[in-house]
Every structure is written in C-alpha cells, then in structure tokens.
Structure 1
Amino acid sequence: MHAFSLLAATAILATAAAPTNIRDSLGVFGDWGAFRDSQVPRCYAIAAAQPSQSRRDHQPFATVGTWPDRQVRGQVHFNLSRNLSSNPRLRLAIGGQRFDLTGGGNDAWATGPQDDAAIVAAFRAGSRMSISATDNRGNRFTDRYSLQGAATAMDAASVGCARQR
C-alpha cells in the first residue's frame, strides 16, 4: 500500500471507530485493506482515494462490505470528497465499463444488488476506477482509486466473516 493510502485508510478507520467498537485487521493488500468488526458483525475491504490537488470537503474512500446476519455480501459504498447536488449525475468508471450510482450527502452506492455484483466483478478485473459527480456548488469533481489489491482484500473480508459464524 502506498504510504499516503495506508495513512489515509488508518485515519479513516480511527475517525469512524467508536470507542466500544473493535476492528480486527485482516490484512493490507496493495492499496486496499480488509477489516472485521465483530460487534456488528461485518467485514469490509476499504481503500482511500488517490491524492488530489482539488478541493476536498471530506476524505474519500471506497468500501465493499459483508453483513452475514443480514445476508448481505459485496455491497459497494463510496464516501465522496464533496457533498452532492440534488441532481449529482453520479458515474463510476472502471476500465471501459460505466455504472450509474445513487447517493446523497457525500455518500454513493450501487443502484441495487445486481449492480453491486457487476461493480465487484469489475473491481476484480480493473486496475483503476474513478467516480464523477456534481457537487452542491454545481461543479463536477472526480475521485480516483487504484484497484491494486482490491480482489484480495474483498476475499479476505469474505473469509473473515465466514469465520464468525
């Protein structure tokens, strides 16, 4: 993992962690990490966006989560660098594939389970991804990510939750 990405992912987890929540690291794989939160229970792969000179209101990151008790696996979520407009035109690009996303605030998700599965498959085959949207000031912005290690981190998260049963 690049030094910036590792520090950013650690900072994201530290700020997101409530004092009573315990997160177990399942490993760092390229630019992605995998974690298990036994309290929920849930497991997820996570990566920080690549550094940017553009204005950021939030630290952007991408996750792929599994909640075994809810029968949810491979749910994609993006924390975006800016707050979205009421008509954000969210678009995820991975290689030659494009996916429309839904969202609000500074969050974005796949439009449903079928899109989650297609996006996860694209993560496995791709090397980079970008999310473009319109912010609440009417400006287009793009958050970019490396997908190096994403497949292994997603697999580690799935295995990590399978062990909780």
Structure 2
Amino acid sequence: MNPLRWNFRLQMLLGAAVCGGLLAFAVYTQVRLGLEPCSLCIYQRLAFAALAVVFLLAGLHGPRNRPGRLSYGVLAAIVAAIGAGIAGRHVWVQAQPQDVMTSCGPPLEFLNQTMGPLEAFRTVLTATGNCGDIDWTFLGLTMPMWCLLWYLLLGIWAVLCAMVKRKEG
C-alpha cells in the first residue's frame, strides 16, 4: 500500500499523526527519562506543533483542487523549514567544543520556580542558556539531529503529497 497513492486528506492526517507522535515522544523523554528541554528544544516542539496544525487543517479541509493542495503543501514546507533551521542551530551548538560558551537559556524548572507563567514563557522565547549538552542519542544521532531529519522528511512529504496528480473534482 503506497502512501503516495492515498487521498490527500489521509496523507495530511498521517503527517499530523507523525508530528503528534514526535511531540508525545518529547514529553515522554522529559517526564519519564528526566531529560530537561532547553529553549531550542522548546522552539522545536513549538515548530512540530505548528506543523501538526497545518497538516491537521489540510486533512480536515481536504481541498479537491490542485492550488488548494499546493497551498497547504507550501505552508507545511515553510513551517518545516523553520523547524529545520531551529534544529540545525541546535545541532551546530552541540557540535561546538565544550570550552566554547554556547547558550540558549536557563532550565524551564528554574524559570517556573522563580517567575510567573507569562514571564517564564517570555524568558524561554528570549533565553540564552546552555544547549550544548548531549543527553540522548539513538543510532549515533542526537535528539536535535533526529528533529532535523524529521523536519526535512515531513517538509518533503508535504510537498510530494501536494504535487501528486489526482483526478480533479
């Protein structure tokens, strides 16, 4: 069963489900494995959530005409490119030598304990703490590397699904 032969609605809902699964895994690693996210991790989660929303809207709308599908595909690709940029920055920060000061903000737990939720949110979005720690790897890739790979795959998926020729109407 070739997913590129599925209808556009199912393809986009699959993209939303993948984003949801990736976000669920991020929460799992935080809650169960005790990996505290840095500010760049939070930005990547926000980008995955935004990408999930685009995929979900595309799936729920299910435009039948090519321009409508292309609009959603391009929008999803733009969001995925933004997420890839954030993940790429995180990969770069982690690749720096330990003695080089690279930062992205204080831990979220500290922010929650010392300030209100709105102030903590604002601080996360403007933070400059250390994101260089590598706490988790799988198959030799760090979490930001996996995020970068997923952003690229989901962006390509959105464009491919939008470009597949279908019967109009």
* Greater radius of gyration (CA): 2
More strand by share: 1
More helix by share: 2
Q: Compute the TM-score of the two structures, normalised by the length of structure 2.
A: 0.30
Q: Compute the TM-score of the two structures, normalised by the length of structure 1.
A: 0.30
